[in-house]
Amino acid sequence: MSNSTENSASGTASITKEPTSSSLQNDLLLHLNTHNKLNTWSYANEHNIDHQLVIGTFRSIQSMGDIVRMEQETSRSIAPTDEGKILIDNGSYEYNLFQAVPADKGIEQPELMKLPNANIGFAKAMSNGWLEVDKSCKPAIVKRKVDNVHDEVKNLLMRIQSLQLSDPNAKEVVDLKKRKLVKDDVVNYFIVTKSAGFSTNIAKGEAELTADMLQTGSWKSLNFKQYNFNAKGMIPSYGCLHPLLKVRTEYRQIFLEMGFTEMPTNNYVENSFWNFDALFTPQKHPARDAQDTFFLSDPAITTKLPTDYLEKVKQVHSTGAFGSIGYQYDWQLEEAQKNVLRTHTTAVSTRMLYKLAQEKTFRPAKYFSIDKVFRNENLDATHLAEFHQIEGLIADYNLTLGDLIGILYEFFRKLGMTKLRFKPAYNPYTEPSMEIFSYHEGLKKWIEVGNSGMFRPEMLLPMGLPENVSVIAWGLSLERPTMILYGINNIRDLIGPKVDLEMCRENPICRVIPAKVEN
């Protein structure tokens, strides 16, 4: 760009000289002294000073006391468009085209038309009467009709840019606007007048009261700068919750409202006994394979397991017990001792139920947790090897599948999901088991939202829970609803080094699933 004019909403003139702030302050006050009134926009243009600098200087004069008054006004103006600015640099298309026509013999038309923007240039040059076409030759020859031309378009654009021409309704301006070389612009400027404390000789006020001023008493005669209560403060840097934690907060709130107690989930490392065996998951189950589960190498095993309970679990797996024939296989202690990264928070639920069963008399309980689990997954756009599970369970006398369905409706209704469907499923530790689907009003389709079931007697009775106590439970992932809520398609935009901190800061706490709640 040859010229730095940038006709912004506040209007900025060409910057050719930049006065020091104190000399500008002086100039402005002297100008006001003689003229009584100053238009910041005209002053900036006449003196080729940045308009914002003029406004800023008056603002700082204002901060020193009641010296000047500023009243904002707005006017329409015009400015060259980006294309207009290119023409200021390079000349108009018609002018360049005329120059490309040799004065004596002319030029073959196809050759001339190879110039950039030749079509517009040719049409304009013809209607200006600059050129003529001799069609008697093949191809036709374009010749000059006049000896010399002035690049009037470029001149106009330059006058507009330097604000010598600012009437949006002038005829020549309207033409340029049609050609999209000029656009309307709004200028906000100030009319500045003298105020009660006006003087051309203002001392910069003191900004700070020092110990020295107090000791010498000099503060009494000093002029102190006024506080500027309109100044914008610095935006303090602040922390924010990650979207996953925002959604977790929302889920936690729902569980707490429903009277659930949060389970302690602060152990990522679990042993196979609590993660699988206690959940009646046979030792040859594919989930217990290294392909699906992360096994720890150090420490590879746990030896601290509750002996009596372990014996009952072994029995129910191998020979059968508590009315079940079990799986009839050779259960191995070594397999149960293996440490793993927990594959589900149901391991925590199991520990909590066992603890509950050890109490003298059974008391009904409602537990929930929201924490991380780990699986040896193939990584793709929606799967990582770790994710968060949301889990809820209720232990009470004589609960039925109807209770489970009822509580699921209540839970998901609080999330804004009112249409549910259930599909029979299989988990080693629940019978019956159901996958939960919900109709997503935003996505307009049924999506799987979780897994659920009634814990099997083979899991509950070895713990020592009374026979007429049943436990209903369900689990879902935290990532899935979070990605849907925040419109995130790739898990790597939610977790890992590519996460945009601004995204975390700017995203509000999400209302979970905006659905029409039916009564």
Which residues contribute to the site for ligand PHE (CB under 6 A)?
A: 344, 346, 391, 427, 430, 451-453, 473-475
From the number of C-beta atoms within 10 Å of its C-beta (0-12, 13-18, 19+), residue 42 rates as middle
Q: How far is CA 421 from the centre of its chain?
A: 33
Nearer to ligand PHE, 337 or 389 (CB): 389
Nearer to ligand PHE, 57 or 346 (CB): 346
Nearer to ligand PHE, 68 or 404 (CB): 404
Nearer to ligand PHE, 12 or 281 (CB): 281
* Cβ at position 474, least distance to ligand PHE in Å: 5
From the number of C-beta atoms within 10 Å of its C-beta (0-12, 13-18, 19+), residue 213 rates as middle
Which residue blocks in 238-338 are alpha helix, DSSP H?
Answer: 243-257, 272-275, 307-318, 333-337
Nearer to ligand PHE, 7 or 438 (CB): 438
Which one-letter amino acid corresponds to residue 271?
Answer: N
* Cβ at position 481, least distance to ligand PHE in Å: 15
* Cβ at position 495, least distance to ligand PHE in Å: 19
Q: Which residue has the tokens 């049943």?
A: 470
Nearer to ligand PHE, 246 or 480 (CB): 480
* Cβ at position 350, least distance to ligand PHE in Å: 10
* Cβ at position 503, least distance to ligand PHE in Å: 28
Is-contact 477 387, C-beta < 8 A? yes
Which one-letter amino acid corresponds to residue 188?
Answer: N
* Cβ at position 371, least distance to ligand PHE in Å: 12
Which one-letter amino acid corresponds to residue 467?
Answer: E
Nearer to ligand PHE, 338 or 388 (CB): 388
* Cβ at position 390, least distance to ligand PHE in Å: 9
* Cβ at position 368, least distance to ligand PHE in Å: 11
Secondary structure letter of residue 11 according to DSSP: -
User: What whole-number distance in Å separates Cα of residue 224 and Cα of residue 215?
Assistant: 17
* Cβ at position 254, least distance to ligand PHE in Å: 17
User: What whole-number distance in Å separates Cα of residue 371 and Cα of residue 348?
Assistant: 10
Nearer to ligand PHE, 166 or 430 (CB): 430
Is-contact 465 357, C-beta < 8 A? yes
User: What whole-number distance in Å separates Cα of residue 120 and Cα of residue 263?
Assistant: 75
Nearer to ligand PHE, 189 or 367 (CB): 367
Using Cβ positions, the residue closest to ligand PHE within the complex turns out to be 475
333 strand-pairing partners? none
454 strand-pairing partners? 472
* Strand locations in 272-419 (E): 339-341, 365-374, 386-397
**CA nearest neighbour of 396 among 345, 455, 348, 309:** 455
Which is it for strands 269-271 and 141-144: parallel, antiparallel or unpaired?
A: unpaired
Is-contact 199 223, C-beta < 8 A? no
